[in-house]
Amino acid sequence: MRIITQKRSKIELRLQLSRQTRNNFFKMRRQLFEFGFVSNTIRRHIGDCAGGIWRSENNVLL
């Protein structure tokens, strides 16, 4: 009985961890999109040359 409960708690812990990392990932992605929006507006002011650089970096990130 004890082994089963230990296993179960391990699995629950792992689930909790994956849930946390997933939340962090979504948070990071939201921040990336917000950053992308900001640099998009900046890009319109600077011009297409800087935009090309930003776009290539953004593709790597996403």
What does the block give as tokens for 59? 């593709």
Q: Out of 3-7, 15-19, 44-48, 55-59, pick the least confident.
A: 55-59
CB atoms within 10 A of CB 39: 17
pTM above 0.75, yes or no: no
Q: Compute φ and ψ for 61, nearest 5 degrees.
A: -65, -45
In contact, 52 and 59? CB cutoff 8 Å: no
pLDDT above 70 covers a percentage of the chain that reads 50
- Residue 4 burial (10 A CB sphere; 0-12, 13-18, 19+): exposed
